[in-house]
Copies of this chain bind each other. A is one copy, B any other.
Amino acid sequence: MQDFKKQFKKGVIELTILRLLYEQDQYGYSIIQQISKRSDNYIEIKDGTLYPILYRLEDNKFIENYWKTDIGSRSKPRKYYKITIAGRLRYEEMLKDYLEINEGIKKILKS
């Protein structure tokens, strides 16, 4: 209760994840940082929120993963995610619905 943002985020986090992966492959932790950064800290998500979404998207074949050790100092590999064709379609569909709801709200809030 009182945490409106938590409710307003429902659905949109998946949308933003797909969007970021649409642009380029990324590992989980990076997605969290990107969402903060690109939204000017208006949207923050927890790792306990992100990973289950990634697994769900993977189960539904919207994304797929591969381990990659980045060149440079660090030795530990990171789990990268890549969006699939189906994932791109999913993103387009979600975006359409999001924009519609958004448009509807805007109309109600102004007058």
Footprint of B on A, CB under 8 Å? 4-5, 7-12, 15-16, 19-20, 23, 35, 38-40, 42-43, 93-95, 97-98, 100-105, 107-109, 111
Please report whether the interface of chain A is mostly helix, strand, loop or mixed according to DSSP: helix
Find A39's partner among B39, B43, B98, B105 (CB 8 Å cutoff): B105
6 A–B pairs (Cβ distance < 8 Å), ordered by A: A4-B94, A4-B97, A9-B101, A15-B109, A40-B103, A42-B103
Residues of B with C-beta under 8 A to A12: 8, 101, 105
Q: A42-B100, A42-B107 are in contact. List 15 more A-B contacts (CB 8 A).
A: A5-B101, A8-B11, A8-B97, A8-B101, A8-B102, A9-B101, A12-B105, A19-B109, A23-B111, A38-B111, A39-B108, A42-B103, A42-B104, A95-B109, A98-B105
